[in-house]
């Protein structure tokens, strides 16, 4: 008879069955773990990128040893070449960082050429803003009215812009004005006095061209018409204006002084203008700050005590107000004027009246009576 179901025939023990396997992870749990790892990697990437951006864009950087660094951005340069120049100069940490900052700030179309000066640690974003704003490095030089070319040259050199010799040489380029003044041998009187902003590499010749251009813009058509009405050439107009400029700094007196000289010219009287004697002495290397009586007899075409009429050319650079005064002198009866020693003048019609003014304001000067 057979063994009962489930018993071993050999020893009547229960048969051994295969144990049930452990439950395996489901597909959903696997996906969740994968997503978790990916999210963790994403966070690490975000944090790493943020750290890189902070270090490269928002953390100030100065990679040059000198107190200041200049970087020239040529015209037409793109952000790639700009970034390379800035990185090589130690202004930004890297060229890619610069390009990223340009992109983030939307400045690609606003970057401007020029020379830029850096003198402190700056963030990459600050560097981008500086170039996008066109904050190019310039220095200002001011030439006041009434300076001669040589005086301007000395100022040019003392300001560290270049040598006086270069300025004087450039100021001899009369070709810049020959269409207005065919007989000019230099640019005396035609270098317009003003404040000019110069880049570090601006040459004396470039500055001279700008000053002549400024003169041309100032010489308005009505000034030239006024000169023609008096029978003056442009050179004679500028010459008269230079005398007016040297004689008075008072705006209200300029047309009157011009009127006095116009009257003398009509009467063929010597102009007897002290500044022309000073200019003659300067040309001869004789001026030491004062005029003596014997200097008034100096043999020079610029000496208007000895030679009637206008001097051969301008003796200084007149400003716009003096040019306008020379073009439209005041209609006055005066033939003389003398300084009150306070910057103003007293005018006279007759020689006797003038002599009295000289005694009052020149020969009897005292602390209580200028």
**Based on the domain organization, do 188 and 228 belong to the same domain?**
no
Packing angle between helix 221-229 and helix 234-247, nearest 10 degrees? 100
**Based on the domain organization, do 164 and 82 belong to the same domain?**
no
**Based on the domain organization, do 144 and 193 belong to the same domain?**
yes
Packing angle between helix 320-327 and helix 234-247, nearest 10 degrees? 120
Q: How many CA atoms lie within 13 A of 22 on its CB side?
A: 2
Q: Transcribe 251-281 into DSSP letters.
A: GGGHHHHHHHHHHHHHHT-----HHHHHHHH
| 367 three-state secondary structure | coil
**Based on the domain organization, do 229 and 299 belong to the same domain?**
yes
Phi, psi of 131 (to 5 degrees): -75, -40
DSSP class of residue 348 equals E
**Based on the domain organization, do 269 and 294 belong to the same domain?**
yes
**Based on the domain organization, do 235 and 280 belong to the same domain?**
yes
Residue 207 is assigned to a structural domain of this protein: yes
Beta strands 195-198 and 139-142: pairing type? antiparallel
Q: Transcribe 56-87 into DSSP letters.
A: IIIS-B----SS-EEEEE-TT--HHHHHHHHH
**Which of 83, 101, 132 marks a domain boundary?**
132
**Based on the domain organization, do 144 and 198 belong to the same domain?**
yes
**Which of 111, 132, 153 marks a domain boundary?**
132
* Domain CATH code at residue 128: 3.30.1490.480
Residue found under tokens 């490095």 = 137
Angle of CA points 113, 119, 124, to nearest 5°: 60
Strand ranges for 193-321 from DSSP E: 195-198
Q: How many domains does the chain have?
A: 3
- Whole-model pTM above 0.75? yes
Rounded to an integer, what distance in angstroms lies between the CA atom of residue 128 and that of residue 336? 63
Residue 327 is assigned to a structural domain of this protein: yes
Residue 95 is assigned to a structural domain of this protein: yes
Residue 10 is assigned to a structural domain of this protein: no
Residue 38 is assigned to a structural domain of this protein: no
pLDDT of residue 102: 93
Per-residue pLDDT of the chain (370 residues; tens, 9 = 90+): 444 444 444 455 555 555 555 555 577 777 777 666 676 666 666 555 555 565 566 889 999 999 999 999 999 999 999 999 999 999 999 999 999 999 988 998 999 999 999 999 999 999 999 999 999 999 999 999 999 999 999 999 999 999 999 999 999 999 999 999 999 999 999 999 999 999 988 999 999 999 999 999 999 999 999 999 999 999 999 999 999 999 998 999 999 999 999 999 999 999 999 999 999 999 999 998 888 888 998 999 999 999 999 999 999 999 999 999 999 999 999 999 999 888 899 999 999 999 999 999 887 654 433 3
Residue 56 is assigned to a structural domain of this protein: no
**Based on the domain organization, do 245 and 228 belong to the same domain?**
yes
**Based on the domain organization, do 225 and 311 belong to the same domain?**
yes
Strand ranges for the chain from DSSP E: 69-73, 114-118, 139-142, 195-198, 336-339, 345-348
Residue 5 is assigned to a structural domain of this protein: no
**Based on the domain organization, do 234 and 316 belong to the same domain?**
yes
Residue 344 is assigned to a structural domain of this protein: no
Residue among 313, 344, 333 at smallest CA distance from 240:
313
Residue among 186, 144, 178, 224 at smallest CA distance from 312:
186
Q: Can you give the residue range of the structural domain that contains 296?
A: 219-332
**Which of 218, 244, 260 marks a domain boundary?**
218
**Based on the domain organization, do 242 and 310 belong to the same domain?**
yes
pLDDT of residue 281: 94
**Based on the domain organization, do 228 and 201 belong to the same domain?**
no
> How many C-beta atoms lie closer than 10 Å to residue 272's C-beta?
16
Partnered with residue 345 across adjacent β-strands are 339
């Amino acid at each position: 008879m057979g063994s009962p179901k489930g018993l071993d025939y050999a020893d009547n023990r229960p048969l051994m069955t295969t144990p049930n396997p452990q439950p395996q992870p489901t597909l959903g749990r696997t996906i969740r773990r994968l997503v978790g790892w990916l999210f963790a990697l994403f966070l690490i990437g975000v944090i790493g990128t943020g750290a890189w951006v902070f270090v490269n864009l928002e953390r100030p950087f100065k990679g040059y040893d000198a107190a200041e660094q200049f970087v020239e951005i040529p015209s037409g340069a793109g952000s790639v070449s700009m970034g390379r120049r800035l990185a090589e100069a130690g202004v930004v940490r890297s060229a890619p960082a610069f390009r990223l900052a340009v992109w983030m700030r939307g400045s690609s179309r606003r970057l401007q050429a020029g020379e830029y000066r850096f003198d402190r640690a700056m963030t990459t974003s600050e560097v981008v803003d500086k170039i996008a704003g066109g904050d190019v490095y310039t220095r200002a030089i001011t030439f006041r009215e009434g300076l001669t070319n040589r005086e301007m040259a000395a100022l040019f050199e003392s300001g560290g812009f270049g040598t006086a010799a270069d300025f004087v040489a450039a100021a001899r380029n009369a070709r810049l004005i020959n269409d207005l003044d065919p007989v000019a041998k230099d640019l005396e009187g035609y270098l317009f006095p003003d404040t000019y902003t110069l880049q570090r590499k601006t040459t004396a010749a470039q500055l001279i061209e700008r000053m002549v251009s400024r003169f041309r813009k100032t010489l308005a058509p009505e000034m030239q018409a006024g000169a023609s009405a008096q029978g003056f050439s442009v050179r004679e107009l500028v010459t008269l204006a230079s005398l007016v400029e040297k004689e008075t700094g008072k705006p209200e007196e300029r047309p009157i002084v011009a009127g006095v000289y116009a009257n003398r010219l009509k009467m063929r009287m010597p102009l007897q203008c002290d500044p022309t004697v000073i200019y003659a002495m300067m040309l001869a290397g004789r001026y030491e700050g004062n005029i003596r009586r014997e200097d008034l007899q100096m043999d020079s075409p610029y000496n208007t005590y000895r030679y009637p009429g206008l001097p051969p050319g301008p003796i200084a650079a007149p400003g716009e107000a003096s040019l306008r005064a020379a073009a439209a002198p005041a209609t006055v009866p005066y033939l003389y004027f003398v300084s009150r020693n306070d910057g103003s003048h007293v005018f006279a019609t007759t020689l006797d009246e003038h002599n009295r003014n000289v005694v009052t304001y020149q020969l009897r000067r005292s602390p209580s009576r200028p």
